[in-house]
Structure 1
Amino acid sequence: MTKRTLLTTTLTLSLLPSLAALAGDDSKPEHTSVVGSRIAKDVAEQSLSLSLISADDIATVGHTHINELLNRVPGVWISRGNGQEHLTAIRSSVLTGPGSCGAFYLAEDGIPLRAPGFCNVNALFDVNSEQAQRVEVLRGPGTAVHGSNALNGVINVISAAPSKENDTWLSLEAGPHEYGRIKFSQSDTVGKHGYRLSLQGNHDGGYKDNSGFEQQKLNLRHDYAGETWDIQSMLATTNLDQETAGYVIGKDAYKNDNLKKRNPNPDAFRNSRSLRYYSRFQREGLNDSRFVVTPYLRVTDMEFLQHFLPGTPLEENGERTVGVQTAFYHSPSEDVTLFNGFDMELTQAYLEQTQGGPSVGDSPSGKHYDYEVDGRYFAWFIGGDWQASENTLINFGTRYDIQFYDYDNQMISGNTDDQGAPCLVAPCRYARPDDEEQRFRNWSYHLGLVHTLTDHTSLIANANQGFRAPQASELYRLQSTQLSTNLDEESMATLEWGFRGTWPSFSYQLVAFWMQKEDVIIRDDQRRNRNGGQTEHRGLELELDWDITPSLNWAVQASYAAHQYGNDVVGNEGDDLDTAPRQLLSSQLTWQPFASSRIELEWVFQDEYYLDSANQHRYPGHSLLHLRWRQQLSQSLYAAVRVSNLTDEDYAERADFAFGNYQYFIGEPRAVYLELGLRL
């Protein structure tokens, strides 16, 4: 499919509301989301570009990696590395670099998985998305309840709520390369108390040589419905032990059967542990007012061998965080609902990097970094909804953030080895600044409109200004001769507009957007972190859901977007960003011949993309087919079969060009997974 073909198809699909003639007067059931305001709101009342992935879709996909699930959101690409590793793109190229993950707000039940300023590119493997109630994705800058890190978008995983009666399930799953997974869920409500235990453990022997992982996740949620307070509490913990395979090098290596399974880094590994706890207290007041306060804590620890760096140094990092989110909602009149609140986080973070082997060129043996950072984060926000007329609803909000860093270097400062000696090749690769304190302050804004055109169609529009503060790793994990930074915050202005339509058997959303990012933090050719980059993003996004017959459904999630350099700092102005396919498309045809059967055929298309800023090397793109069948054998027993890469396509999960070589994370061949679930 060419660019012109997909663009024409997208524009054609936007005219499909004419199919409403097939429908009656009733609307589909309402869908609610909490991602934009922290309390449940009908998606139809929000101007945001929102996508929801339901529990039914999560069960059908049965994802072994989060990218399999988030393919169902237009403009989103979770680029799969090896094992559970990943990089994220939301209306962007795939962002790399130590602090690039600061462009995304990744959360569970509205609480970030990492502290502001301490992002991790792989944070989504710390959340139990496999047993979630739904996943909410906001494309573009966040609202007043988000602030720093909600620059390109928000992914919020909603935990499964307790059931109203005793409900216990056990499932067993098997797949290729010694893959096995066990999932257990138990839930009940007694009086005012409800609970749900969700846990899983899986083992993957790995498609690549000397690779694979073991991972465990547990969520324990308790809901209390009192006369004055409603309290929702959850403990979440995860553990990952992974043997990591690196890039395979060589042009078109993903097509070469002799190279596909090679692992050039057999000693690489990643171990990660996380623990999170929160209690959300809510109470109703007079005149439909509501007060919400959520204290929480977070602990993470990770160690991994950096197989992609000279000397393969070991990194150890972690954080200890306590925080609180608050919000107060009230309606001073029938036409206006306001909310305001205060958020705070206190974080103690650490990072060590050590090269156990001998010196390699400019990479010295011994410690490279050993530092601690105390982070303090405070934010105030206000926002609301104004029913300006019978057909026009306006959403608005603003937020003020303050981020403090107190950096403490635990070893010798400067551009030397850990004993103060120069490197074999000067200057040393790594540099350690002196102790310092830094502060960043920012405003963010959101203004949106929902205008009802007919009983079934609405016009939506948004204007947003988002930002992200420099991450601690960009400020203190310096290289070469750079011993201090003078970094500003990245900012992004966004305009978007589009249409939504909803009928009993048909719904769609078509959105056009323009985004410009300023003061992009880059690493220049002397390996110095500095501002100066500018990027521009323009595109169309389509979501479509059509019940062709009572038993046959067709869904589409498509985007066509140009992600380009806005100046000549990194690449040539007007050239495409690297790792930024212009077209992303997924489509599902679902047939339910009986109430107990669900068969889905999914097509995933990824356009070609450039591998370097000079736009001289490219990956040609690929198309994949996946087949899934889920059969309810009885009220207490189900079976599922999933076939990924049905046509056994040769493809790369991610491609790159660096140091004069093509390099790829190899896509796996056809694979069959079998699952059996039993209600106990």
Structure 2
Amino acid sequence: MPAKLPVSLYYAIAIALLPGSAAVAQQQSTDENIERIVTTGSRIAQESPEHGLAISQIDNQTLNLVSPMHIEEVLKFVAGAGVQRGNGQEYLPALRSQVFTGAGACGGLLTAEDDIPLRAAGFCNINELFEAHTEMAQRIEVLKGPGSALYGSNAIHGVVNVITPDVTRDAGLLGVDYGSYGYSRYKLRHGEDFGKSGIGINASITRDSGYRENESVHQEKVNVRHRYEFSDVTLTSGLTYTNLDQDTAGYIEGFESYKNETLAQQNGDPEAFRKNRALRIWSKAQWSLDNGDSLLITPYYRDQSMDFLMHFLPGQPLEKNSQEGIGVQSLYQHAFNNQWQLEAGLDAEYTEGTLSQFQDGPTQGSAFLQATIPEGFHYDYDVDATMIAPFAALTWQRDAWRITAAARFESMQYDYTNHLPAGRTRADGTECGMGGCRYARPPSSSDDYTNFSPKLRISYQINDALSLYGNIARGYRAPQATELYRLQREQQVADLDSETVTSIEAGLKGQVAGTRFTLAAYTMDKDNFIFRDSDFFTVSDGETRHQGVEMELMHQFNQQWDIAVAASYANHTYEYDQVLNGVNINGNDIDTAPDTLVNTRLGWQVTDAARLQMEWHHVAAYYTDPENLNEYEGHDLLHLRGSWALSNTLTVFARVNNVTDERYAERADFSSFSGPRYFPGRPRNYMVSVQYQY
């Protein structure tokens, strides 16, 4: 893999240096003085991101123009994010990291809707963002780097927070999307404002028959919100319900098979499916106290369940998992004087989770597979998890300087109950042949984890337009329940430590000559990296390093033309000894970690009512195995989209994705059993939308 900066990144950086006319610069400066509202990083809506926090935002105008069928289509507008789409609504995430894979790798990134984590800390799912209402979001906020000081476990690489609209203030929208391969989506937003109170609904229905054989997505999502304002407190309550019924297409196999149109459409797993239901209810009470302090308390309830055919495993077992729990978030803000401010709170959560894995018939394949993978139950267990976490942040501000010291202490306890015989036997306790069954069940137990996450951030306001910042932080994630209790082969107990990461970041952000930009450099060292070793033991003695530079910018050439760029160059490497197939991977690139990601969007405001945008997305080559012996060549995609406001209330959108009809892989992987395998990308496809606002 090349070590020098590629031409594509030089191009992106050069855009930042383009001058704008004085008139445009003055207009841009005026526009940028209207700050963006964010909640990520503080929990309380404020007019701009906290100084020293790397927060990116995908706004409502961008979401309307793209009308994403999948959240991957807009997360690539964030420098350092490298989400890879699977089939249907599935995906694998990355944020200042390699693409996460494995049972508990989802714990590397916290996902939330309206500041409430989508899953409890020990029960994440790698695809969990399909439970957020991205299709009808007001905006998406992405916090990059460790966010554990506020968010706790799982915010080790960052936070993706989907913000739904406040529909309690006379909202009204009807919309319909029609696209290639049987795609349709219907959207409704309606709200009533009664002054001191309001109520509203935000809903969407999606149908997608898919590009590949025997694949489809049926999805329904709804948000309901209510607001009531007292003299000194605002009470906002919300409900989100999502339902996904998906027929899934798996990998296609064979070197560069994604380039073959016939192979790309095939589905070797027509029986595969995923059914997921998720309910979240929350109520946020915010007090404005007489002394200027504020208090925020948010109790919430979650209920989630999923049925999932594990089509990629021998025997194709059915997994059923669920979680139900309650929790509370709190935040108290107090200003001692003009220089010193305190934020403190206590978060708590209790969750009851279950998981079973059941195989309906005998395993097909070799004699070894038939002997070691029996039909019947493989796992059947409950886990009750309790989390308690106090946190505090003290800020000193004077003149151009702002310094914040923050810390969180978190206690996590798992109470695990195994309902099957312990060990690697069949469900009835009998032994498997050829050395024992593949799946191993630890005996019932309790496991406790405590973690401390400090963070220091410093910012200096150079002038009205530029600021410097620096962060030193420690992030963590407790092991997930599936890593602790879903074992294989001879492993009877997983003695795992919490993953931790130490991050150092420096950046410059502001606006110059019509260009709003953020430049950042970071280095992150991760200890106790959890992985499955060559003996199929789940262990936590790995180490990795993540280093990179990022740039996000928006430049206005003149009244008609503008450009947005998100670019990153990073190295993600293994830093521990492990020999795989005769290769010590120490120093190797982590698999599925392209060093360069560039997204550029060139916009043309044709008239006051019409806009066109061309997007170029570049993914560099990356290795598909830890040994760095197999590689995907990368790809470049072009997309074209436009909008035309027929009136103040009616707008038509049109999009052409993959304009050049590129044959590419959304995800490339390598398996020692099947060799190269891919999720093929869709060829050129179209979407037309009509949106009526009232």
TM-score range, shorter chain: over 0.9
For residues 79 and 646 of structure 2, the distance between their equivalents in structure 1, rounded to whole angstroms, comes to: 34
The residue that corresponds to 1:545 in the other structure is: 554
Q: Deviations over 1:104-144 (max 9, x none)?
A: 11001111000011101111000101111111101110052
Q: Aligned in 2, Cα 1:4/1:585: closer, same or farther, shift over 3 Å?
A: closer
Matched, 1:209 2:213: yes
- Tell me if the contact between 1:514 and 1:536 (Cα under 8 Å) persists in the aligned partners: yes
Q: Deviations over 1:525-557 (max 9, x none)?
A: 111111111110111000010111122211000
| Structure 1 runs (4+) greater than 6 angstroms displaced | 17-21
In the TM superposition, what is the alpha-carbon distance from 1:630 to its structure 2 partner? 1.3
- Tell me if the contact between 2:200 and 2:226 (Cα under 8 Å) persists in the aligned partners: yes
- Tell me if the contact between 2:597 and 2:620 (Cα under 8 Å) persists in the aligned partners: yes
Q: Aligned in 2, Cα 1:392/1:17: closer, same or farther, shift over 3 Å?
A: farther
Superposed counterparts of 1:130-145, under 5 Å: 130-145=135-150
- Tell me if the contact between 2:16 and 2:515 (Cα under 8 Å) persists in the aligned partners: no
For residues 546 and 21 of structure 2, the distance between their equivalents in structure 1, rounded to whole angstroms, comes to: 32
Q: Deviations over 1:232-266 (max 9, x none)?
A: 11100000000000000000000012201110101
**Count of residues in Structure 1 that have an aligned counterpart in Structure 2:** 678
Query: Which one of the candidate residues 489, 511, 517 is aligned to 1:508?
Result: 517
The residue that corresponds to 2:291 in the other structure is: 287
Matched, 1:355 2:359: yes
For residues 513 and 381 of structure 2, the distance between their equivalents in structure 1, rounded to whole angstroms, comes to: 58
- Tell me if the contact between 1:28 and 1:502 (Cα under 8 Å) persists in the aligned partners: no
Matched, 1:635 2:645: no
For residues 343 and 19 of structure 1, the distance between their equivalents in structure 2, rounded to whole angstroms, comes to: 50
Q: Aligned in 2, Cα 1:289/1:143: closer, same or farther, shift over 3 Å?
A: farther
For residues 16 and 459 of structure 2, the distance between their equivalents in structure 1, rounded to whole angstroms, comes to: 18
The residue that corresponds to 1:381 in the other structure is: 391
Matched, 1:603 2:608: no
Query: Which one of the candidate residues 457, 473, 479 is aligned to 1:448?
Result: 457
The residue that corresponds to 1:481 in the other structure is: 490
Query: Which one of the candidate residues 69, 85, 90 is aligned to 2:95?
Result: 90
Higher mean C-alpha displacement, 142-151 vs 207-216? 142-151
Query: Which one of the candidate residues 492, 515, 538 is aligned to 1:529?
Result: 538
The residue that corresponds to 1:257 in the other structure is: 261
Report percent identity of matched pairs.
Answer: 41
Matched, 1:649 2:636: no
In the TM superposition, what is the alpha-carbon distance from 1:479 to its structure 2 partner? 0.7
Query: Which one of the candidate residues 438, 454, 463 is aligned to 2:447?
Result: 438
Query: Secondary structure at the residue paired with 1:486?
Result: coil
- Tell me if the contact between 2:152 and 2:410 (Cα under 8 Å) persists in the aligned partners: yes
In the TM superposition, what is the alpha-carbon distance from 1:296 to its structure 2 partner? 0.3
Q: Deviations over 1:475-502 (max 9, x none)?
A: 0011111111110000000001011122
Q: Deviations over 1:200-233 (max 9, x none)?
A: 1011111111111100000011122221210111
Higher mean C-alpha displacement, 172-181 vs 102-111? 172-181
Matched, 1:23 2:32: no
Query: Secondary structure at the residue paired with 1:359?
Result: coil
Superposed counterparts of 1:32-181, under 5 Å: 32-43=37-48, 45-162=50-167, 164-165=169-170, 167-181=171-185
In the TM superposition, what is the alpha-carbon distance from 1:15 to its structure 2 partner? 4.8
- The aligned amino acid for 2:228 is Y
Matched, 1:235 2:239: yes
Query: Secondary structure at the residue paired with 2:87?
Result: coil
Q: Deviations over 1:157-181 (max 9, x none)?
A: 111013643x422112211121111
Query: Secondary structure at the residue paired with 1:184?
Result: strand
What is the TM-score of this pair, normalised by structure 1?
A: 0.97
For residues 304 and 514 of structure 2, the distance between their equivalents in structure 1, rounded to whole angstroms, comes to: 45
- The aligned amino acid for 1:677 is Q
The residue that corresponds to 1:344 in the other structure is: 348
- The aligned amino acid for 2:679 is F
What is the TM-score of this pair, normalised by structure 2?
A: 0.95
- Tell me if the contact between 2:13 and 2:551 (Cα under 8 Å) persists in the aligned partners: no
Structure 2: gaps spanning 5 or more residues: none
Query: Which one of the candidate residues 184, 188, 195 is aligned to 2:188?
Result: 184
- The aligned amino acid for 1:372 is D
Query: Secondary structure at the residue paired with 2:154?
Result: coil
Higher mean C-alpha displacement, 569-578 vs 113-122? 569-578
Q: Aligned in 2, Cα 1:44/1:232: closer, same or farther, shift over 3 Å?
A: closer
In the TM superposition, what is the alpha-carbon distance from 1:32 to its structure 2 partner? 3.0
The residue that corresponds to 2:527 in the other structure is: 518
Query: Secondary structure at the residue paired with 1:345?
Result: strand
Q: Aligned in 2, Cα 1:82/1:636: closer, same or farther, shift over 3 Å?
A: same
For residues 20 and 136 of structure 1, the distance between their equivalents in structure 2, rounded to whole angstroms, comes to: 31
For residues 596 and 19 of structure 1, the distance between their equivalents in structure 2, rounded to whole angstroms, comes to: 24
Superposed counterparts of 1:364-375, under 5 Å: 364-375=374-385
In the TM superposition, what is the alpha-carbon distance from 1:660 to its structure 2 partner? 4.7
In the TM superposition, what is the alpha-carbon distance from 1:679 to its structure 2 partner? 3.8
For residues 408 and 591 of structure 1, the distance between their equivalents in structure 2, rounded to whole angstroms, comes to: 60
Superposed counterparts of 1:269-280, under 5 Å: 269-280=273-284
Query: Which one of the candidate residues 656, 678, 683 is aligned to 1:664?
Result: 678
The residue that corresponds to 1:626 in the other structure is: 639
Higher mean C-alpha displacement, 207-216 vs 570-579? 570-579
The residue that corresponds to 1:561 in the other structure is: 570
The residue that corresponds to 1:593 in the other structure is: 606
For residues 602 and 99 of structure 1, the distance between their equivalents in structure 2, rounded to whole angstroms, comes to: 33
In the TM superposition, what is the alpha-carbon distance from 1:22 to its structure 2 partner? 5.8
The residue that corresponds to 2:503 in the other structure is: 494
Higher mean C-alpha displacement, 643-652 vs 548-557? 548-557
For residues 257 and 6 of structure 2, the distance between their equivalents in structure 1, rounded to whole angstroms, comes to: 29
- The aligned amino acid for 1:657 is F
- Tell me if the contact between 1:537 and 1:561 (Cα under 8 Å) persists in the aligned partners: yes
Q: Aligned in 2, Cα 1:572/1:638: closer, same or farther, shift over 3 Å?
A: same
- The aligned amino acid for 2:689 is E
Superposed counterparts of 1:448-467, under 5 Å: 448-467=457-476
- Tell me if the contact between 2:168 and 2:226 (Cα under 8 Å) persists in the aligned partners: no
Structure 1: gaps spanning 5 or more residues: none
